Amino acid sequence: MSDRSHVIVIGGTSGIGRHFAQSCAERGDEVVITGRSEERTKSVAHEIGGRTRGLTLELADPERIAAALADVRRVDQLVLAALDRDHNTVREYRPADAIRLLTVKLTGYTEVLHALAPRMTDDSAAVLLGGLASHRPYPGSTSVTTANGGIGALVRTLAVELSPIRVNALHPSIVSDTPFWSDKPTAREMAETRALTKRAVTMGDCTHAIRFLLENRAINGINLNIDGGELLS
Protein backbone atom coordinates (compact mmCIF):
# COMPACT_ATOMS: atom_id res chain seq x y z
CA MET A 1 0.00 0.00 0.00
CA SER A 2 1.26 3.48 -0.86
CA ASP A 3 2.05 5.70 2.09
CA ARG A 4 1.77 8.93 0.11
CA SER A 5 -0.63 11.51 1.49
CA HIS A 6 -3.78 12.69 -0.24
CA VAL A 7 -3.67 16.48 -0.05
CA ILE A 8 -6.43 18.92 -0.99
CA VAL A 9 -5.52 22.60 -1.41
CA ILE A 10 -8.50 24.91 -1.74
CA GLY A 11 -7.19 27.95 -3.58
CA GLY A 12 -4.10 26.22 -4.94
CA THR A 13 -3.58 28.14 -8.18
CA SER A 14 -1.45 30.97 -6.78
CA GLY A 15 0.34 32.35 -3.75
CA ILE A 16 0.71 30.33 -0.58
CA GLY A 17 -1.72 27.63 -1.70
CA ARG A 18 0.20 26.94 -4.88
CA HIS A 19 3.55 27.01 -3.09
CA PHE A 20 2.33 24.41 -0.59
CA ALA A 21 0.77 22.25 -3.31
CA GLN A 22 4.05 22.32 -5.22
CA SER A 23 5.94 21.13 -2.14
CA CYS A 24 3.50 18.25 -1.72
CA ALA A 25 3.78 17.22 -5.37
CA GLU A 26 7.55 17.19 -5.07
CA ARG A 27 7.22 14.78 -2.13
CA GLY A 28 5.17 12.42 -4.30
CA ASP A 29 1.79 13.11 -2.66
CA GLU A 30 -1.55 12.84 -4.41
CA VAL A 31 -2.57 16.49 -4.74
CA VAL A 32 -5.86 18.15 -5.68
CA ILE A 33 -5.91 21.92 -6.15
CA THR A 34 -8.98 24.06 -6.68
CA GLY A 35 -9.53 27.38 -8.38
CA ARG A 36 -12.36 29.43 -9.83
CA SER A 37 -11.37 29.07 -13.49
CA GLU A 38 -11.41 25.57 -14.97
CA GLU A 39 -8.83 26.41 -17.63
CA ARG A 40 -6.41 28.09 -15.23
CA THR A 41 -6.80 25.45 -12.53
CA LYS A 42 -6.02 22.60 -14.92
CA SER A 43 -3.11 24.57 -16.37
CA VAL A 44 -1.59 25.18 -12.93
CA ALA A 45 -2.09 21.53 -11.97
CA HIS A 46 -0.15 20.55 -15.08
CA GLU A 47 2.62 23.04 -14.23
CA ILE A 48 2.90 21.69 -10.67
CA GLY A 49 3.19 18.22 -12.11
CA GLY A 50 3.53 14.96 -10.27
CA ARG A 51 0.24 13.46 -9.12
CA THR A 52 -1.64 16.79 -9.22
CA ARG A 53 -5.07 17.45 -10.63
CA GLY A 54 -7.28 20.51 -10.66
CA LEU A 55 -10.94 21.01 -9.78
CA THR A 56 -13.09 24.08 -10.37
CA LEU A 57 -14.59 25.47 -7.17
CA GLU A 58 -16.27 28.77 -6.29
CA LEU A 59 -16.37 29.32 -2.53
CA ALA A 60 -18.71 32.28 -2.94
CA ASP A 61 -21.39 29.80 -4.08
CA PRO A 62 -21.56 27.45 -1.06
CA GLU A 63 -24.54 25.47 -2.36
CA ARG A 64 -22.40 24.03 -5.18
CA ILE A 65 -19.29 23.18 -3.16
CA ALA A 66 -20.30 19.60 -2.30
CA ALA A 67 -20.95 18.76 -5.95
CA ALA A 68 -17.64 20.28 -7.03
CA LEU A 69 -15.78 18.06 -4.55
CA ALA A 70 -17.85 14.91 -5.16
CA ASP A 71 -15.05 12.88 -6.74
CA VAL A 72 -12.53 13.56 -3.96
CA ARG A 73 -12.43 10.17 -2.27
CA ARG A 74 -9.80 10.52 0.44
CA VAL A 75 -8.46 13.48 2.43
CA ASP A 76 -5.42 13.15 4.65
CA GLN A 77 -4.47 16.82 4.65
CA LEU A 78 -6.68 19.78 3.79
CA VAL A 79 -5.46 23.35 3.32
CA LEU A 80 -7.96 26.16 2.83
CA ALA A 81 -5.94 28.98 1.29
CA ALA A 82 -8.43 30.67 -1.04
CA LEU A 83 -9.08 34.35 -0.42
CA ASP A 84 -10.78 37.48 -1.70
CA ARG A 85 -9.19 40.88 -1.21
CA ASP A 86 -11.50 43.74 -0.31
CA HIS A 87 -10.50 47.35 0.45
CA ASN A 88 -13.75 48.38 2.09
CA THR A 89 -14.14 51.28 4.53
CA VAL A 90 -17.06 51.91 6.85
CA ARG A 91 -17.67 55.41 5.47
CA GLU A 92 -17.79 54.13 1.88
CA TYR A 93 -19.11 50.68 2.65
CA ARG A 94 -19.93 48.24 -0.15
CA PRO A 95 -22.09 45.52 1.43
CA ALA A 96 -22.05 43.23 -1.61
CA ASP A 97 -18.25 43.05 -1.62
CA ALA A 98 -18.19 42.43 2.12
CA ILE A 99 -20.78 39.65 1.81
CA ARG A 100 -18.75 37.94 -0.89
CA LEU A 101 -15.52 38.00 1.13
CA LEU A 102 -17.19 36.78 4.31
CA THR A 103 -19.00 34.06 2.39
CA VAL A 104 -15.74 32.82 0.87
CA LYS A 105 -13.74 32.81 4.10
CA LEU A 106 -16.33 31.67 6.63
CA THR A 107 -19.33 29.96 5.01
CA GLY A 108 -17.27 28.60 2.10
CA TYR A 109 -14.49 27.22 4.28
CA THR A 110 -17.01 25.60 6.61
CA GLU A 111 -18.96 24.04 3.75
CA VAL A 112 -15.75 22.52 2.35
CA LEU A 113 -15.14 20.83 5.68
CA HIS A 114 -18.78 19.74 5.84
CA ALA A 115 -18.45 18.15 2.39
CA LEU A 116 -15.07 16.50 2.98
CA ALA A 117 -15.30 15.43 6.64
CA PRO A 118 -16.80 12.01 5.73
CA ARG A 119 -13.70 11.35 3.61
CA MET A 120 -11.27 12.23 6.39
CA THR A 121 -9.96 9.80 8.99
CA ASP A 122 -9.08 10.18 12.65
CA ASP A 123 -5.53 10.98 11.53
CA SER A 124 -6.52 13.71 9.07
CA ALA A 125 -5.83 17.39 9.65
CA ALA A 126 -6.85 20.74 8.18
CA VAL A 127 -5.30 24.19 8.14
CA LEU A 128 -7.24 27.39 7.45
CA LEU A 129 -5.48 30.52 6.19
CA GLY A 130 -6.39 33.75 7.95
CA GLY A 131 -4.18 36.80 8.24
CA LEU A 132 -2.63 39.26 10.64
CA ALA A 133 -5.20 41.94 9.79
CA SER A 134 -7.32 40.31 12.51
CA HIS A 135 -4.86 41.77 15.04
CA ARG A 136 -3.47 44.74 13.13
CA PRO A 137 -6.26 46.42 11.14
CA TYR A 138 -5.52 49.18 8.64
CA PRO A 139 -7.76 51.71 6.85
CA GLY A 140 -10.02 49.78 4.49
CA SER A 141 -9.47 46.40 6.16
CA THR A 142 -12.89 46.24 7.83
CA SER A 143 -14.08 43.20 5.86
CA VAL A 144 -10.67 41.49 5.84
CA THR A 145 -10.17 42.05 9.58
CA THR A 146 -13.66 40.71 10.28
CA ALA A 147 -13.11 37.63 8.11
CA ASN A 148 -9.72 36.81 9.61
CA GLY A 149 -11.07 37.34 13.12
CA GLY A 150 -13.83 34.92 12.19
CA ILE A 151 -11.26 32.34 11.11
CA GLY A 152 -9.68 32.64 14.56
CA ALA A 153 -12.98 31.69 16.18
CA LEU A 154 -14.03 29.18 13.54
CA VAL A 155 -10.93 27.04 13.95
CA ARG A 156 -11.77 26.40 17.59
CA THR A 157 -15.33 25.24 17.00
CA LEU A 158 -14.20 23.11 14.06
CA ALA A 159 -11.60 21.40 16.24
CA VAL A 160 -14.31 20.60 18.79
CA GLU A 161 -16.95 19.44 16.33
CA LEU A 162 -14.66 17.42 14.05
CA SER A 163 -12.58 15.75 16.80
CA PRO A 164 -10.38 13.74 16.51
CA ILE A 165 -9.64 15.41 13.15
CA ARG A 166 -7.27 18.27 13.94
CA VAL A 167 -7.99 21.80 12.72
CA ASN A 168 -5.61 24.76 13.01
CA ALA A 169 -5.18 28.17 11.40
CA LEU A 170 -2.22 30.15 10.09
CA HIS A 171 -2.24 33.96 10.18
CA PRO A 172 0.59 35.46 8.11
CA SER A 173 1.61 39.08 7.94
CA ILE A 174 2.61 40.45 4.52
CA VAL A 175 4.10 37.55 2.57
CA SER A 176 6.71 39.32 0.51
CA ASP A 177 7.08 36.97 -2.45
CA THR A 178 3.42 36.32 -3.24
CA PRO A 179 2.21 37.72 -6.58
CA PHE A 180 0.13 40.34 -4.73
CA TRP A 181 2.94 41.76 -2.59
CA SER A 182 6.03 41.14 -4.72
CA ASP A 183 5.58 44.38 -6.70
CA LYS A 184 4.78 46.55 -3.65
CA PRO A 185 8.22 47.47 -2.25
CA THR A 186 6.92 50.05 0.24
CA ALA A 187 4.65 47.52 1.94
CA ARG A 188 7.38 44.88 1.97
CA GLU A 189 9.88 47.30 3.48
CA MET A 190 7.36 48.23 6.17
CA ALA A 191 6.88 44.55 7.01
CA GLU A 192 10.64 44.09 7.31
CA THR A 193 10.93 47.13 9.57
CA ARG A 194 8.13 46.01 11.89
CA ALA A 195 9.35 42.42 12.19
CA LEU A 196 11.74 41.81 15.06
CA THR A 197 13.59 39.43 12.72
CA LYS A 198 14.08 42.33 10.27
CA ARG A 199 12.97 40.13 7.38
CA ALA A 200 9.62 39.72 5.73
CA VAL A 201 7.67 36.46 5.80
CA THR A 202 7.98 34.32 2.66
CA MET A 203 5.85 31.64 1.05
CA GLY A 204 8.51 29.14 2.08
CA ASP A 205 8.01 30.19 5.71
CA CYS A 206 4.26 29.67 5.32
CA THR A 207 4.63 26.26 3.70
CA HIS A 208 6.91 25.15 6.53
CA ALA A 209 4.38 26.38 9.12
CA ILE A 210 1.44 24.73 7.36
CA ARG A 211 3.28 21.42 7.29
CA PHE A 212 4.01 21.74 11.02
CA LEU A 213 0.35 22.38 11.80
CA LEU A 214 -0.72 19.43 9.65
CA GLU A 215 1.83 16.93 10.90
CA ASN A 216 2.31 17.64 14.62
CA ARG A 217 -0.37 15.47 16.21
CA ALA A 218 -0.40 17.45 19.47
CA ILE A 219 -1.33 20.75 17.78
CA ASN A 220 -5.07 21.34 17.59
CA GLY A 221 -7.41 24.34 17.68
CA ILE A 222 -4.43 26.71 17.40
CA ASN A 223 -4.19 30.11 15.71
CA LEU A 224 -0.55 30.51 14.73
CA ASN A 225 0.69 33.99 13.82
CA ILE A 226 3.62 34.00 11.42
CA ASP A 227 4.98 37.53 11.44
CA GLY A 228 8.60 37.57 12.59
CA GLY A 229 7.45 39.08 15.89
CA GLU A 230 5.68 42.01 14.24
CA LEU A 231 2.88 42.12 16.80
CA LEU A 232 5.45 42.74 19.54
CA SER A 233 6.90 45.79 17.83
At 156-179, the pLDDT tens digits run: 999 999 999 999 999 999 999 998
CB 129 within 8 A of CB 80: yes
Whether this prediction's pTM lies above 0.85 is answered by: yes
**pLDDT tens-place string over residues 66-114:** 999 999 999 999 999 998 888 999 999 999 999 999 999 999 999 999 9
Considering Cα of 219, then 110, then 81, then 96, what sign does the dihedral take? negative
More confident: 207 or 137: 207
Closest to 23 in 3D by CA, of 46, 2, 49, 41 = 49
Q: What is the pLDDT of residue 1?
A: 38
Burial zone of 97 (CB within 10 Å; 0-12 exposed, 13-18 middle, 19+ buried): middle
Over the range 165-180, which residues count as b (16 or more CB within 10 Å of their CB) and which as e?
bbbbbbbbbbbbbbee
CB 162 within 8 A of CB 221: no
